[in-house]
Structure 1
Amino acid sequence: ETVEQMAESLDQYASRASHPTLSEFLEEASLTGRENESDSKEDQLNQKGVRMMTLHSAKGLEFPRVYLIGLEEGILPHQRSLEAGESSIAEERRLMYVGITRARDFLTITMAKTRKKWGKPREAIPSRFLYEMRDGKMPKEVEEATADPDAEQSDEYSD
């Protein structure tokens, strides 16, 4: 991208984010930057494979299956929003609604039982948004999955 395109992307991000930060912009740019800009949105949606994107970039799109991961306090809503106050939390609530309504056929919502913080396992607290959902919107069946303790953990990714 040219410097002008980057500046335009930064301006667009700053205008729609409730509390814009450089780190969140870079995260969003890295996720949305993977799309082939020459393809139309319809062509992109018809491509096979998994599409990972932010809730912001999912606005206006629809998918057969949607996975919302990390619905925990400190992740959704983000810790910065919790510290910033109710208006920031309300913006994240709207973003979660965007994510939920992107699912055409199936919606899967996940949270971790524990997360490592500062190298120590901590119990994860379910997102307040899960408790705010109306009856019928939340699956009655909850499946608990645990990671294999012998599974190898890696920071490497492959195509």
Structure 2
Amino acid sequence: YHAVIVDEAQDLSPVQLHLVSKLVEPSAGDMRGLTLLADPAQSIYYRGISWKEAGIEIRGRRTRVLTKNFRNTQPILEAAASILERCEDLKEENEFIAPESTDRLGPRPRLVFYQSEIGKLEFIRDTILRLCQRHEFRLGDIAILSRFKYDKTIKRKPLNELAAFLNEHDIPNTFYKNPQFDIFENNVKLITMHSAKGLEFPVVFLMGLEDYAMPFISSPETVEEDTRRDRKLLYVSMTRASEWLFMLCPKQRYSPFIRDDLDRSKVHVMEVEAVVS
């Protein structure tokens, strides 16, 4: 090919990237026909590419740094960015580029603490109805993201339980990877955090922010890597919201990212009994 464009390049391994580079015709000359779009802050699967290992020089006049953020309101962007301030690998590689807000105003993200699962579900239901009635959102504008499809720690399927609850209260919903899924259909979207990458919605609820789930440590040998991965995963999940963001946390056992890293001045803290006004 004369030109190859690769999106989400931060998640390619050096071998994959080297393979992609071979798709460019030699006549294009020293990779001039290869365009890579990458954000290291959104590398949510593993450490990701090493440009030098892949034999690609990304610095210099052929590099363009895009900093303007057009998706998120300023409050959402500032809260999400605070999660990454302790992401050491981005600092070490000098690869974190602080996004510039378009200065689009909006409500501060809501940090919602709940005492029980039913309290969490009722808050989601009531807030969805309030947003649609008072703020003129459609059900199709709303997505609910969960850390897991199946939570092995508590042996439950949080999205399935949520779907059943919403169905009981006549709130149409659909799973993202359902064969009949239609992004434009007017129903609430239920998605895992990993599957939400690349998507955006006016309203986003985040579930699965328990201390054992975010970060989820798969083994004692992978603590550092798992923590780094899930810190970025939370950042990606928060920035799926373009207008309203609700972060749902159990009152007693919630993520250290929320406890230690999130800038509380950038969010509005709520108890589960509260509703959107």
Match of 1:67 among 192, 205, 208: 205
Match of 2:177 among 15, 33, 55: 33
Q: Who is 2:111 aligned against?
A: none
Aligned counterparts of 1:82 and 1:75: Cα–Cα separation in 2? 15
- Greater Rg, structure 1 or structure 2? 2
Change (3 A) 1:53 1:35: farther
Match of 1:134 among 263, 266, 271: 263
Aligned counterparts of 1:103 and 1:25: Cα–Cα separation in 2? 19
1:73 Cα deviation after fit: 0.7
Aligned counterparts of 2:264 and 2:245: Cα–Cα separation in 1? 15
> TM-score by structure 2 length?
0.34
Structure with larger RCO (C-alpha < 8 A, sep 6+): 2
Change (3 A) 1:133 1:111: same
Match of 1:100 among 204, 217, 238: 238
1:125 Cα deviation after fit: 1.8
- Indicate the SS of the match to 2:272: coil
Dislocated runs of 4+, deviation >3 Å: 15-18, 24-27
Q: Who is 2:194 aligned against?
A: 56
1:85 Cα deviation after fit: 0.8
1:135 Cα deviation after fit: 4.6
Change (3 A) 1:90 1:143: same
Structure 1 unmatched ranges of 5 or more: 1-14, 19-23, 114-123, 146-159
Aligned counterparts of 1:105 and 1:82: Cα–Cα separation in 2? 38
Higher strand share: 2
> TM-score by structure 1 length?
0.55
1:95-139 CA-to-partner distances (Å, cap 9, x unmatched) read 1001100111110011123xxxxxxxxxx4221111312354322
1:39-58 CA-to-partner distances (Å, cap 9, x unmatched) read 5xxxx1x3211111111111
1:25 Cα deviation after fit: 9.8
Change (3 A) 1:67 1:125: same
- How many residues were matched structurally? 109
Change (3 A) 1:35 1:105: farther
Give the aligned residue type for 1:138.
V
Q: Who is 1:10 aligned against?
A: none
Change (3 A) 1:91 1:81: farther
Residue identity (%): 33
- Indicate the SS of the match to 1:60: coil
CA RMSD across the alignment: 3.4
Change (3 A) 1:106 1:25: closer
Give the aligned residue type for 1:55.
M
Structure 2 unmatched ranges of 5 or more: 1-15, 17-43, 47-146, 151-159, 161-174
Aligned counterparts of 2:265 and 2:211: Cα–Cα separation in 1? 22
